C-alpha cells in the first residue's frame, strides 16, 4: 500500500493522475452518502461534490511540508493531499485504521506527513491555526507556507478578520482560500453577505487578493502559485477567492430544495471533472474508452476501501486518551 506522501507525489506534473484522483474523490463522496443513508455510518457528513478541481489544484502546487488547515467539508482535501481512500473511509466509519484512529470522524481528517492539519468542524476554526503555523515558519526562518481553507460564510465571522489582520501586520506566509460555493449551510450568499465577490475584503487589510475559477484545475494552479510565490519570498499573505458550486446539499439530510430552479443544472455544465476531461481529450491524453476505464477503476478502488474498512476493528475506550499531552511538575 502506498503512503500518503507517495500518493501525493504521483500528482506532480501528472494531469492524468490528477484526473484519476478527481474521479476517486467523486466516487468516494457518492458511496459515503449512500453508506450514511443506509445507516452504515453514524453521525452526519458534508460532501464536496463539484469542488474536486479546487482540491487537486491546491494539492499540486503546495509542497508536502507546507500545511493546510481545512474546514469540515474536507474529504476531497484529504484524498487530494494523499490520504488513502481506505484511511479516509475507515475514519468516517469510526475504525481504528482511520487517519485519526477512528476517533475524529468525517469532520476531522488529518495526516501530518502531507501537511494536512486536523480539520475543524468549527466554522472558520482553521484560520487562526493556519496563521499560527505561518508564524512558526516565519520564526524558524523556513520557506514553507500555510493555507487556511474555508467556505464563503466563514468570511463573516471574527476569526476571519482577526486572522487576516494579524497576518497582514506581520506579513505571515499564509494564504487564505475562500471556497465560495454560493451557500453557507442552507443560506444563499446574497441573503447573508452584502457582497458576492468576497476577495475584495482583502483591501481592508492592505492585502493582495486573487479571484479564480475554482471549477478549473489549471486556473486554480495559476492563481495559487502566484500567492505561494509571494508568501515564500516573505511578501506576506494573500486572500484567494475560488468560485465553486456545491452540487450536494449542506449535509446528508439536506436535499437543497431551496436552490433556484435551474441553478444546479447551470453549474453542472461546468463540472470540474467534465472540464478536465475536455482539456485532456483536447491534448490527446484521454478518449471515451480511457474515460470509461478510469471511472470503472475508481469505483473498484473505493469499493475495495469500503470492504476493508468494514472489516477493520473499532477503537477501544482507551484510544480516547491517545495523543493527549500533559505537563507534570517535577520534584
Confidence of residue 167 (pLDDT cuts 50, 70, 90): very high
Asked if residue 38 belongs to a domain, the reply is: yes
Asked if residue 9 belongs to a domain, the reply is: yes
pLDDT digits (tens, 9 = 90+) for 13-29: 999 999 999 999 999 99
> What mean pLDDT do residues 283-295 have?
97
Residue 265 has pLDDT above 90, yes or no: yes
CATH number at residue 119: 3.40.50.970
- The whole-number pLDDT of residue 79 equals 98
Instruction: List the grid coordinates of 105.
Output: 470522524
- The whole-number pLDDT of residue 326 equals 64
- The whole-number pLDDT of residue 78 equals 97
Instruction: List the grid coordinates of 120.
Output: 475543524
> What mean pLDDT do residues 220-237 have?
98
> What mean pLDDT do residues 45-71 have?
96
Asked if residue 314 belongs to a domain, the reply is: yes
Residue 327 has pLDDT above 70, yes or no: no
> What mean pLDDT do residues 37-45 have?
88
User: Which comes out higher in pLDDT, residue 160 or 37?
Assistant: 160
User: Do 84 and 7 contact (CB within 8 A), yes or no?
Assistant: yes
What domain range is 242 assigned to? Answer: 4-321
Confidence of residue 255 (pLDDT cuts 50, 70, 90): confident
pLDDT digits (tens, 9 = 90+) for 180-209: 999 988 889 889 999 989 999 999 999 999
- The whole-number pLDDT of residue 323 equals 73
Q: How far apart are CA 55 and CA 76, in angstroms?
A: 6
Give the strands of the sheet with 174-180, arranged side by side: 67-69, 146-151, 174-180, 238-243, 209-213
Asked if residue 328 belongs to a domain, the reply is: no
Asked if residue 135 belongs to a domain, the reply is: yes
If one counts the domains in the chain, the total is: 1
pLDDT digits (tens, 9 = 90+) for 239-253: 999 999 999 888 878
Q: What is the pTM of this model?
A: 0.94
Residue 329 has pLDDT above 70, yes or no: no
- Is beta strand 183-184 parallel, antiparallel or unpaired with respect to 67-69? unpaired
- The whole-number pLDDT of residue 2 equals 78
SS3 sequence, the chain?
CCCHHHHHHCCCCCHHHHHHHHHHHHHHHHHHHHHHHCCCCCCCCCCCCCCHHHHHHHHHHCCCCCEEECECCCHHHHHHCCCCHHHHHHHHCCCCCCCCCCCCCCCCCCEHHHCECCCECCCCCHHHHHHHHHHHHHHCCCCCCEEEEEEHHHHHCHHHHHHHHHHHHHCCCEEEEEEECCEECCEEHHHCCCCCCHHHHHHHHCCCEEEEECCCHHHHHHHHHHHHHHHHCCCCCEEEEEECCCCCCCCCCCCCCCCCCCHHHHHHCCCHHHHHHHHHHHCCCCCHHHHHHHHHHHHHHHHHHHHHHHHCCCCCHHHHHCCCCCCCCCC
Asked if residue 68 belongs to a domain, the reply is: yes
Asked if residue 82 belongs to a domain, the reply is: yes
Q: How far apart are CA 34 and CA 68, in angstroms?
A: 28
Q: What is the mean pLDDT of the chain?
A: 94
Task: State in Å, rounded, how far the first CA of the chain is from the last one.
Answer: 47
Asked if residue 326 belongs to a domain, the reply is: no
Amino acid at each position: 500500500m502506498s503512503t500518503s506522501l507517495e500518493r501525493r507525489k504521483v500528482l506532480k506534473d501528472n494531469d492524468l493522475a490528477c484526473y484519476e484522483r478527481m474521479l476517486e474523490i467523486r466516487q468516494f463522496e457518492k458511496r459515503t452518502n449512500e453508506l450514511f443513508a443506509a445507516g452504515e455510518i453514524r453521525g452526519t457528513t458534508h460532501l464536496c461534490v463539484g469542488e474536486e478541481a479546487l482540491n487537486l489544484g491546491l494539492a499540486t502546487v503546495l509542497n508536502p511540508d507546507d500545511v493546510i488547515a481545512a474546514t469540515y467539508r474536507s474529504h476531497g482535501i484529504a484524498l487530494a493531499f494523499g490520504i488513502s481512500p481506505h484511511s479516509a473511509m475507515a475514519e468516517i466509519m469510526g475504525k481504528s485504521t482511520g487517519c485519526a484512529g477512528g476517533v475524529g470522524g468525517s469532520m476531522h481528517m488529518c495526516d501530518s506527513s502531507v501537511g494536512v492539519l486536523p480539520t475543524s468542524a468549527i466554522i472558520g476554526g482553521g484560520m487562526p491555526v493556519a496563521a499560527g503555523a505561518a508564524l512558526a515558519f516565519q520564526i524558524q526562518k523556513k520557506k514553507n507556507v500555510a493555507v487556511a481553507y474555508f467556505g464563503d460564510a466563514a468570511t463573516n465571522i471574527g476569526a476571519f478578520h482577526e486572522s487576516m489582520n494579524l497576518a497582514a501586520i506581520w506579513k505571515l506566509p499564509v494564504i487564505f482560500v475562500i471556497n465560495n460555493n454560493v451557500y453557507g449551510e442552507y443560506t444563499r450568499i446574497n441573503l447573508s453577505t452584502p457582497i458576492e465577490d468576497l476577495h475584495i475584503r482583502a483591501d481592508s487589510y492592505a492585502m493582495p487578493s486573487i479571484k479564480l475559477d475554482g471549477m478549473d484545475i489549471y486556473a486554480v494552479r495559476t492563481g495559487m502559485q502566484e500567492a505561494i510565490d509571494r508568501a515564500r519570498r516573505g511578501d506576506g499573505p494573500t486572500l484567494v477567492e475560488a468560485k465553486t458550486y456545491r452540487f450536494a446539499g449542506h449535509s446528508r439530510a439536506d436535499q437543497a430544495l431551496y436552490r433556484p430552479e435551474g441553478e444546479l443544472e447551470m453549474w453542472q455544465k461546468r463540472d470540474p471533472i467534465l472540464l478536465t476531461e475536455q482539456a485532456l481529450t483536447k491534448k490527446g491524453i484521454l478518449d471515451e474508452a480511457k474515460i470509461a476505464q478510469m471511472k470503472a477503476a475508481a469505483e473498484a478502488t473505493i469499493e475495495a476501501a469500503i470492504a476493508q474498512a468494514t472489516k477493520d476493528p473499532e477503537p477501544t475506550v482507551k484510544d480516547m486518551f491517545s495523543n493527549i499531552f500533559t505537563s507534570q511538575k517535577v520534584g
